Amino acid sequence: MNSAGGGIVINGLPSSFNPGQTYPFSVTISHGTADRLRWGFEINARNGNNIGIGTFDPGTNTNVALNSGPSEISHNGAVVTSPSSSYTYTGMLWTAPSTITAVDNQVTFYTVGNASNNNSGTDGDYIYTSTILTILPVDLKELRYKIIDDYKVQLIWKTSNESNSKEFVIEKSDDNRTFYELSKISAAGNSLTVKEYSYNDNRPSYFNRPVFYRLKLVDIDGKFKYSKIIQLSLKGRSAYVAQLSPNPAKDKICLEIFSDKNRNAEILVIDAMGKGVYAEQLSLQKGNNAHTVIINAYSHGRYFLRLKTDDYIQNIGFIKL
């Protein structure tokens, strides 16, 4: 068993499944040398309580059939070939259960294959085994936003079920190309009820132009997927950076700052670890103000340009080349 350089591979069964969805799949049995003449297999799907789950179907393959119930399928008449190193059973289907309980959050597929010499006996045959674990992913039911006091953004999302979920990473972008992390919020882990989460971004980046948010849904095993992207625009207030360029930048960043009156403000540069690396007091004039910050001595990486006024804090990410 599991020797002679062979194996069994399942293609098409998911690493995470959706309730009620059907997945076409194939089973390939391989051997280390091209001397096998007959090929068989069996596959069984079990839930967390080791009870059969889901429904197999032979699909278009007439050489396979259900075996001991809908959660198990195997060869019907083992296929005979000329001397070969592999054979693939194709055209089969597995349908996930449409109704999920807590023990159904994960499904284990146990598979066994036989690479036989077709001598009508057990001598000289090779058996290969495989196990696949598939889980019910986080089902993001809703993602929306509210704008509070003209400059605060509240993201609100709901999940209808979670399995082995670790956290939600809130990401933001000023150009819909490069996203950066704002925060992380722990997930429920395992849940079959509706859960609601929220995050407040109280440090706007740009005003009067689109900004973008998304969620990164991370599982305990490190796998992840992204939500849809939310686009919104905030109204300009009393004083704000209207433009930071270039971005990425090598030697300097040029700022266009608007102010509705003469006022004092503070410019800071913050590194990715939250450490301040530069600070400067500004006297803004009513209207448009141009200002330059020299960054040629900074290490490569992500930084944030922060404008502090008596009203709020504005935070714009940029890359130092």
Q: What is the pLDDT of residue 278?
A: 96
Write the DSSP string, 110-156: EEEEEEE--SSSSTT-EEEEEEEEEE---EEEEEEEEEETTTEEEEE
Who contacts 59 (Cβ-Cβ below 8 Å, separation ≥6)?
Answer: 24, 91, 92, 93
Q: What is the pLDDT of residue 63?
A: 93
Classified as helix, coil or strand, 140 is strand
CATH, domain 139-233, list 1.10.3720.10, 3.40.50.300, 3.40.50.800, 2.60.40.10: 2.60.40.10
CATH code given to domain 7-135: 2.60.40.4060
Q: β-pairing, 210-219 with 224-226? A: antiparallel
Question: Residue 270: which of 190, 207, 180, 191 has the closest Cα?
Answer: 180
Q: What is the pLDDT of residue 163?
A: 79
Residues of the chain with CATH 2.60.40.10: 139-233
pLDDT averages per 10-residue partition of the chain, 321 residues? 90 85 96 95 95 95 93 94 96 91 86 94 91 83 93 94 89 93 93 92 94 93 87 90 95 96 96 94 96 96 94 92 95
CATH code given to domain 239-320: 2.60.40.1930
Specify whether the CB–CB gap between 271 and 318 falls below 8 A: no
Residues of the chain with CATH 2.60.40.1930: 239-320
User: What is the C-alpha separation between 299 and 276, in angstroms, rounded?
Assistant: 13
Who contacts 83 (Cβ-Cβ below 8 Å, separation ≥6)?
Answer: 34, 35, 36, 37
Residue 208 tokens, joined = 């009067």
User: What is the C-alpha separation between 12 and 79, in angstroms, rounded?
Assistant: 21
Residues of the chain with CATH 2.60.40.4060: 7-135
Q: What is the pLDDT of residue 221?
A: 79
User: What is the C-alpha separation between 207 and 316, in angstroms, rounded?
Assistant: 11
Handedness of CA 118, 121, 124, 125 (dihedral sign): positive
Q: What is the pLDDT of residue 70?
A: 95
